[in-house]
Each structure stands twice: as structure tokens, then as C-alpha cells.
Structure 1
């Protein structure tokens, strides 16, 4: 069941059902991509560094800490359900559980015929879904005529990935009774360290919009796996127009000839990301992915 917010958004958009082709449902268990060639660890590390938007040592790797609550709109009923279930299963495979019935949506997949128009309607009618700090990048993608648009709403959290509590007391100023004039999120559950960051970075919500024209005739598994990577790996920036090595579902997309499923690299990337300490610096991701990739032998 979708929350009232997700239902109201679908009604607002007047989403039309589109079709994507689906082969027989895949069997449970690991999805194997035929024809993949194993790559050396240095190749894996190099690709992660190229894909990562920010791999600095003073910035934590960003990801979901809250269980997934996914809403899918724009396909027919069976297609929406299949897309939803496959993304949820992909998330469960990397250790990100799904919430139960009636949960508050924190990830959305939307398929629509007019991406630019949809973005403008969201700004006007559901502005909380697309905060102002995310609009510059989204507007640039619309101006380029991108056929799919992704954004993440993020926030700082404590060292363990938990949300910061609201308060007025100034940290470290208990003796003199210092306080703010208004309630603010304050990171008090941390300790000084030269080796670990004092905060983590979590995804509050995420959305991906696909232009309906690009999904016509596309196998639905490919659509679901691409959405999985873009929603669950916020800092991943695909290499447009390239066939990276190792292969990834993210590039090229939606051009023909790219992978049709999550690849060995993709699974290693997501598994490593979600296995890192909540406050692990983003710079550690490349090595973690390479080690996970080797471990799949």
C-alpha cells in the first residue's frame, strides 16, 4: 500500500500506463550476467573513482540508512508491481530492508511522457519532493533534455547513521548554559577522532523520472536494475556514452548494447557501499568495491 502522499502525487500527475517488455520472471537468487569478463582490482578501483561524484577523505559515503519504502507509477498495474518487487529484492540482497504496508515513501520511480513538465508540476504542487537545494542540478538536466532525471534529498546524521535530535543547547557549553534561539539538529552522539568522521550522510528521499519514450520495448528488468543503481548509490555519476570496464548497468543507458542486468561490478559496488561503516569516508569506497568484486569469484 502506498501512503496518501504517494497516492496524491500519482493522482496529481494523471500518470498514464506505459508498457515495458518482461521476459519470464527470473528465478530467486543471484542474477548472473552472461559474457562478463573479470577485471583486475586496479581496474575496479579506477572505475569507482571515475564514477564517484565526491571521493574525498573528509566526506562520508552517502546511502540510505532507513529501510526502503518504494513507490512506482507510470506502468500498468502488473508492470508497477514487478518493477517495485525487483528493486526491493535488489535492495534486500545488499542488506537494505523494505518497510511494511502503509510506510512513508522515501524512494519513487516515475514514468511520464513529459519530464520537463512533470518537474515543473512537482515544484508547484509537491515542492517538498524537490527542495530548492536540489533544483539547480535538476533544472540543468531538464535544460539538457535528459531522458531520465535523478535526485536525492540528503541530511547529515550522527556517526552511526541515526538522525540528529532537535535541541537548543550549544554542544560543549553545558557549564554556562549556552543555547540557540530556535530548535536545531545537533550532533551530540559523537566523539573526537583523527581516524573517523564525526558524522554520516544519509538519504532522506530519492526519485527518478524516466521519459516514457525511452522505455518503449525495453526489458523491464533492465529498467528496474538501472533504477536500483541510481536510487541506492547517490554519489554515482554514470559515464555518458561510454562502455566502461568493468561493465555496469549504468552505462550506456538507454542506448542499445549496454548490460541488461546488474553486473558483477554493480553488485560489488552496492554491497560494498552498504557494508561500510555509516561514517566511513567516501575515499574508502574504491578499495571496498574492489575487494567485494574479487570475492565474487
Structure 2
């Protein structure tokens, strides 16, 4: 698991920008309030989930964190960093995701920087495992497209229950000569064949989101924290550029004015459904699960 190096923390802090003025006076222990709206038709909720999803295949599991969350927030002043961290941890706990104690090794980073491209190169130099080679092209494409929010997840296959696969030098069930491998390999030995269930799950090992400081200055700090929550905790979710979805979601439009300032009823239903599904549930089942969760929150 990649660890956020001290040098990058220093770099981010050096380019720190002040959050919205009221952030310093906010109470980090206040309740998280989810915006409400009228009950939408279940079909509209399902359609939006599918529209926001980067995969709707039945042979791909719904990806999420299985390990306890350890957050690191950098780039605001001390009060702003602490507030965003606390709010995001409260959001995670509200959907049943465990949160590690202070001092843990970070597996989810929120960074605010006035030169995201420079920060990306610094990460590659100092902490290459945080941004592995197979992910760098994706991040550099975001930069080339002028994206002011950069996001990536490092993922791995897990067993059916969301646990890490062990490493072995023999193929399971092969006791004959020739069954040995030349290297220790990660092999799923704790799953069983089924017509109705996938033999594996997909878990997030680490993730990071970088906000361009230009869009953060003056932004309502709850909006920043809740947007980061949705994008980090829902890896397969894609934002809609310049579109106000129905029902409303924190993910769009962003960072344009007019979008919600905090998690909406749809967002809470989305995260709650995602983190209550079976670890190996296919991504195609998420839409119905969100619709049912949304109706149940009335």
C-alpha cells in the first residue's frame, strides 16, 4: 500500500490556500445533513446510476473499499484540513465503512494544490507506488483535457468475501509434478464456482483526488468534502460535465455554481447501497439497489 511521503505533504502545504472563510469557525462535530428532495420515480434513480457508471457489465463486480479507511487531507489551512477530514470520516461511518485511528497509513488522499501537474510529477518521483505506471497515462490524460479535479484508484482482485488473496507457488488442486510456479503469485483459493455469483470481488487498495486550488478558493467547504467523499468512495462513478442530473447529486455540476453544497438524498442512497451489497455483487445490480435504498429513505 502506498504511503503519502513527508516531502509531498510539505509541497502541498507550501501551496496551501485558504478555504471558505466560515470553514475556520465550523464545528467539526456537527451532524452531517443530507439534502432532501421529493421522491423520484425508481426508474429515474436507476437511470441516473447507470448514466454515472463507467461499467454496467454483469461479469464485473461493484468496486469499493473493503479495508478500513485512512484519510489524509492537505493543502488547506490546519482548520480546513481538519474539518474536511472529520466530515469525510463521518460520511464514511454513516454508510458502514470502518475508519482507522489517527496515525494510520493513508489509503485515501485529498490534496489541494495550485499546480496539480507539478504535484503529479512529484508523486511519481517520491511515491511511485501511489501512482503506478498503468495509471499514469489516465492521470496525464486528465491533465491534458484541462480537468481541474484529478482522480485515480489503485485496485486489486479480492476473493468473494472481499479479502485479499494469499500468495502461493503452487496451483490449487495440482499436486502432480509441474504444478509449481516459478514465483509466488496471488491466487484466489477461497472462492467457489456459481452460476449466480462472481468468483471474485474488486477492492480499492489506495486512492487520491487532487483539486486545482483555483476552483477551491471561496468554495463552500462542505461541498469540497462531500464531493471528495463521493468520488473516492465510489470508484466506478463518473461525473456529468455541466449537467444537473435528476435527482440531484453532489457530483454535478462541479465545480460550477448551482450544484448541491452537500450530499443529496441520491448520493447517500448510492453510497449506502454500494457498501451494503455483497462484496462480489455484479456492478449491474447497483442501480436497483440504489433505487430501493432511495425509496427507503423517504
Inter-partner Cα distance in structure 2 for 1:105 and 1:82: 17
Aligned pairs, how many? Answer: 294
SS in 2 for 1:229: helix
> Post-superposition shift, 1:26?
7.4
Aligned residue in 2 for 1:114: 115
* Alignment map for 1:88-103 (pairs within 5 Å): 88-103=89-104
SS in 1 for 2:14: coil
Inter-partner Cα distance in structure 1 for 2:70 and 2:11: 20
**Structure 1, unaligned runs of 5 or more:** none
* Alignment map for 1:1-297 (pairs within 5 Å): 5-13=4-12, 15-21=14-20, 22=22, 24-25=26-27, 28-29=30-31, 31-33=33-35, 36-176=37-177, 178-297=179-298
> Post-superposition shift, 1:239?
0.7
Q: CA RMSD in A?
A: 1.7
Which 4+ stretches in 1 moved above 6 angstroms? none
**Bigger mean CA deviation after superposition, 63-72 or 111-120:** 111-120
Q: C-alpha offsets along residues 80-109 of structure 1, whole Å, 9 cap, x if unaligned?
A: 000000000000000011101321110000
Q: What TM-score comes out, normalization by structure 1 length? A: 0.95
Q: What TM-score comes out, normalization by structure 2 length? A: 0.94
> Post-superposition shift, 1:176?
4.5
Q: Is the 8 A contact 1:249 1:260 kept in 2?
A: yes
Inter-partner Cα distance in structure 1 for 2:7 and 2:69: 19
SS in 1 for 2:199: coil
Q: Is the 8 A contact 1:106 1:205 kept in 2?
A: yes
Inter-partner Cα distance in structure 1 for 2:265 and 2:7: 38
> Post-superposition shift, 1:224?
0.1
Structure 1 residues 167 and 265, CA gap change in structure 2 (3 angstroms): same
> Post-superposition shift, 1:232?
0.2
Inter-partner Cα distance in structure 2 for 1:219 and 1:179: 57
**Structure 2, unaligned runs of 5 or more:** none
> Post-superposition shift, 1:175?
4.5
> Post-superposition shift, 1:12?
4.6
SS in 1 for 2:280: coil
> Post-superposition shift, 1:116?
1.3
Q: C-alpha offsets along residues 153-175 of structure 1, whole Å, 9 cap, x if unaligned?
A: 00000000000111111122135
Inter-partner Cα distance in structure 1 for 2:167 and 2:60: 23
Q: C-alpha offsets along residues 4-47 of structure 1, whole Å, 9 cap, x if unaligned?
A: 7443420255533211223643774451325x232110000000
Q: Is the 8 A contact 1:6 1:105 kept in 2?
A: no
